[in-house]
Structure 1
Amino acid sequence: MKCWARSVSGCCTTQSREHYITKGLFSGKIVKVKNAPFLGGGMKQLSKASLTRKCLCKKHNELLSIFDDEAIRFGKALEYALNLSLERRHSKQKKFSVHNKHIDREKLTRWFVKTFLGLYEFFQYPPAVVESELARLVYSRNKKVANSIQLNIEMQKNENFDIKQVVSVAPLEENGATVGMVVELYGIRLQGIFNQEDSIRNKPLKLKFHEQSKGLSCIVAIS
């Protein structure tokens, strides 16, 4: 049985397949994968069904669906904000009401960690925080995981945004260890850095969509 959550609790007897990146994030059957270490880098088009590996037992895998759902909600919120922006761009209105979308930071952070645990074996350097500790963070009932992972959105002000059916993955390395990861989804880069101590006090992350002179249109907040 291959299961990175084996140190958390006993595994069941059924092996399952885990998607490298949550399959529900993408509507089509084919996904463009960029810079993925498990594919040797470069850009490749692959079916979603092929982007799986045996790294969890069925019991532990099924407990992760709530975090996959939150990542999907994040993707849907970005789609909504972009579509709203495109609709309002050609409107004759001078001012709009601001639409708000909220994403649960704790659930999204746990999704980020579980995604890392499915990928880290392909990175050059071992993780700075050991697998068993990261696994405990994902399944913890009492610990606030967002205090141990510094999650940021790595986008520049006024950077063009476009929804893309592309996944890009890159490790963050420091002193011979992998200290985090950057995942690009829907054209947004999520960066997570792991901390040995439960000491991070995160401020809400906000993606603000402006309609040039017409002002703010939509806010996607992660808190």
Structure 2
Amino acid sequence: MKCWAKNVSLCCDTQSSEHYITKGLFSDKMLYVENAPFLGGASKKLSKASLTRNCLCKKHNETLSIYDDEAIHYGKSLKYCLELSLKRRKSNARKFSLHTKSINYDRFNRWFLKTYMGLAEFFRYESAIDKEKLARLVYSETSIKHYLLLEVAMEIQEDFQIEESVSIAPLEKDKKTIGMQIELYGIRLKGIFSDKPEHVQKPIKIRFYEYKQGPSCMIKFE
């Protein structure tokens, strides 16, 4: 049995296929995969269903679906903000009501961590934090917000496009992998891991403004 959560609790007897990236983030059946380490660095168009690997047992994999749902909710929230903005650009209103979408911080943190766990072996350097400890954080019954410093890594007024694309890169220091950067639907997020509750998790608020009417939509992690 191949399961990165085997030291968290007993595995079941059934091997499960885990998607490299949550499949619900993409509506198309075929995806263009660029510079993939599991393809030897090649780029290729592949079916979404084929982009899996055996790295979890069925019991541990099924437990993670709620965190996949949170990432999907985040992606849908970004799409909603874009659609609202496009609609409001045609309006002559002087001011708009502010629409707000909320993301569960803890669930999203766990999705970030479990995505890292599924990809960590492809990164150049070993994890600075013991992967067994990270696995226990994913399945912890208490909040893990102080073990992960999650931030938006975008420049002020940086151009971006909200579309169904995801790119991932490791964050490295002293020849160790200390975290991961994910550009999800055009918004770049970086997370640095710790094996101690030392991080102060900063509130994340992604605001969308209309040119004349001001704030239009906001996504907040809480």
Range class of TM-score, shorter chain: over 0.9
Give yes or no for contact 1:32–1:167 (8 Å, CA) kept in 2.
no
Cα separation, 1, equivalents of 2:56 and 2:12: 10
Q: CA deviation at 1:165?
A: 2.5
Matched, 1:213 2:217: no
- Partner of 1:121 in structure 2? 121
Matched, 1:32 2:32: yes
Matched, 1:203 2:202: yes
What is the root-mean-square deviation of aligned Cα atoms in Å?
1.3
1:59 maps to a residue whose letter is: K
Give yes or no for contact 1:36–1:170 (8 Å, CA) kept in 2.
no
After TM superposition, the structure 1 = structure 2 runs for residues 17-166 of structure 1, keeping only pairs within 5 Å, are: 17-41=17-41, 43-142=43-142, 144-166=143-165
Instruction: Give ranges in structure 1 of 5+ residues lacking alignment.
Output: none
Q: CA deviation at 1:43?
A: 4.6
Cα separation, 2, equivalents of 1:160 and 1:130: 36
Give yes or no for contact 1:31–1:166 (8 Å, CA) kept in 2.
no
Q: CA deviation at 1:42?
A: 6.0
Percent of aligned pairs sharing the same letter: 56
Cα separation, 1, equivalents of 2:165 and 2:33: 6
Instruction: Give ranges in structure 2 of 5+ residues lacking alignment.
Output: none
TM-score, L = length of structure 1: 0.95
SS of the aligned residue for 1:54 comes to strand
| Cα offsets for 1:23-80 (capped at 9, x unmatched) | 0011111223344333344654322111100000000000000100100100010000
Give yes or no for contact 2:208–2:216 (8 Å, CA) kept in 1.
yes
Q: CA deviation at 1:190?
A: 1.7
Moved more, 7-16 or 155-164: 155-164
Distance 1:155 1:33, change over 3 A: farther
